[in-house]
Amino acid sequence: MNDLDKLSNSDQVRHLWRLSDVPEHSEVLTSLETEYPGGAPTSTAPETVCIANAAKEVFLISTPAALHGPLWFHKFALIQKAGFTYADCLTAEPDVLEMLALGIHAQGQQAKKDQAEDARVKSSLVNESGPLSWFKKMIATCHEMGASDIHFEVRDSSTRIRVRHDGVMRHVMSIPSNVVLDGLSASFTVLAEERSRSEVAFNAQAAQACMIPLTFDAENINLRYQSHPVVSGVDVTLRILKTSVSTKSELMTLDKLGYTPQQVELLELASGSANGGVFVSGVTGSGKTTTLNAMLRAIATEGIRKVISIEDPVEYVVPGVSHFSIQRQSNSDTGKNPFLGAMLAFLRMDPDVGMVGEVRDNVSAQIVQAAIQTGHKIFSTVHATSALGIVSRLNSQAIALPRDTLCGPEFISALVYQVLVPKNCPACSRPATQVMKPAELAPYAEFFDLNMDALMCASDGGCPLCRVKGLDYNGSLRAGVKGVKVGAEVIVPDEPLLQLLSAGKDIEARNHWRSQRTARFDDADTLGKEAWGHVLYDMSRGLIDPFYFEKIFGRPSLFRQAARIRA
């Protein structure tokens, strides 16, 4: 079949919905972007793009409207004139073409300069003579990127360094493992706070933890260090905790974290009562401690109650709060548990409000129970998969608080579950109707009655506003995100709910909570809604990509039955 024969099969043209659907190629043919019939195009949004693979076979990609139009045939003629082999024609979504076109321009002179600069920075990081200097420079580089976590994945000879940025893992670089191990060893042994180290010296064969304080350009941060040996190496994760006053003012408010006004009001009421527990749950890295400190900061600002926090170890320093920083040794027994001593001291120091970093065992649970039952307000985090799941977790064999105690009328002030969701970049997000297939969008209309025209998707390649220099976006899907926000459920239990939970009727308790919903999913009212319902509201405003909804909660069909329950 010759090239003209291929043109006749227009009914077989494949459509590219996403950047990942684009055929493997080695270059975008910029030489074919310089000639247009009638002069240069009036729009920066391309109608056609030509790409070539290593065999010099060219794919001619266009919008459906431009297929077999004047510009399309002009490009086809240029392909033949330039001596390339015509492979196929394809149609694509506008943002796919725009991302390919972005490659046309971004991989010009400026991109070459950026690549050279990245290579220079990476070389200087590897060749830095002192392990401590290397470590500090590596942390500064990742901190400037806006990373929340830094991952060192050390294997035999090479270490992959990745960061979590806007809730998504991104590759930074790979460097020799000996450089990384020297830097990690020096930082753990020399830079870590003495009382925070789980062991005296660095050991790649043991799980270790510590806190490492650093200062960059007058900004104070803490690194929460956690390591664990793996096959052929060790993984080390550093959580970046911003402790400067300037950053606290940005982080420590519930509304800025993403809670709705209704949820903020419920949490303020729960925090303001004299006793009872406010328990915040979520997966690792969901911002639980940040939320607790937002509430603590509001209480401490009033200045009329004594506030003490007990953490393992302290992550954020809140003005007006007395922080007890402890480190439970990995090999310690209950009789030598420093957490127990700190909690007993707390009860003797005339506090009004206490924050316990995490209820993780029966020792911490018993002290929390004693504090609440003696008239104190307690805040804590719990690892659970829902707000109502907190009760089941606290009643589990590992923690063993009785349900009749948990579900007493004054024990629980509020139950909270939260997730962190990447937000669409406002500059490059695209209407979901232009990105997703109709069959992919249909469940959001069918099950949740959302307006499809209001939904937005993050672009695959991002844009200058959201792309971060130094991060590897190769092969990324929906990379056009900027910032994260909370999606949450906040439950202040009523008497019927407590009775169901006390009786162990957890499914009935969940249905009771869902039955209180009166608002649509595109309404800000979150009564009776779980965290996924809050995120659906944010989706309806174009803030969240359905792609990330499904990454966090699963396909919308999973919530078909739950979505039907309402008052």
- Listing from the earlier edge strand, what are the strands of the sheet with 307-311? 322-325, 307-311, 353-356, 377-382, 276-281, 412-424, 481-491
pLDDT value for 42:
41
Tokens of 541: 């405003």
pLDDT value for 33:
57
Question: Domains in the chain, please, with CATH?
Answer: 4-106 (no CATH), 128-242 (3.30.450.90), 254-329+336-564 (3.40.50.300)
pLDDT value for 32:
64
Q: Return the DSSP state at 189.
A: I
Tokens of 16: 């590219």
pLDDT value for 115:
56
Distance of alpha carbon 68 from alpha carbon 89, whole angstroms: 10
Cα-Cα end-to-end distance for the chain: 64
Distance of alpha carbon 160 from alpha carbon 491, whole angstroms: 41
pLDDT value for 124:
57
Tokens of 71: 């510009």
Distance of alpha carbon 241 from alpha carbon 290, whole angstroms: 10
Distance of alpha carbon 74 from alpha carbon 79, whole angstroms: 9
Tokens of 237: 């994760």
pLDDT value for 327:
66
Count the residues in the chain.
567
Q: Could you identify the residue written with the tokens 């749950």?
A: 281
pLDDT values of the chain reduced to their tens digit, one per residue, 567 residues:
555 555 545 557 888 877 777 888 888 886 665 444 444 444 445 788 988 888 889 999 998 888 888 888 888 888 888 888 888 899 988 877 877 776 644 444 444 555 555 555 555 554 544 888 899 999 999 999 999 999 999 999 999 999 999 999 999 999 999 999 999 999 999 899 887 888 889 999 999 999 999 998 878 899 999 999 999 999 999 999 887 654 444 557 999 999 999 999 999 999 999 899 999 999 888 999 899 999 999 999 888 999 999 987 777 888 899 998 776 554 444 456 677 788 888 888 999 999 998 998 998 899 899 999 999 999 999 999 999 999 999 999 999 999 999 999 899 999 999 999 999 999 999 999 999 999 999 999 999 999 999 999 999 989 999 999 889 888 788 999 999 999 999 999 999 999 999 999 999 999 999 999 999 999 999 999 999 999 999 999 999 999 999 999 999 999 999 999 886
Distance of alpha carbon 456 from alpha carbon 462, whole angstroms: 14
> Is the model's pTM score more than 0.85?
no
Tokens of 157: 């000879």
Q: How far is CA 454 from the centre of its chain?
A: 23
Q: Residues 483, 148: contact at Cβ < 8 Å?
A: no
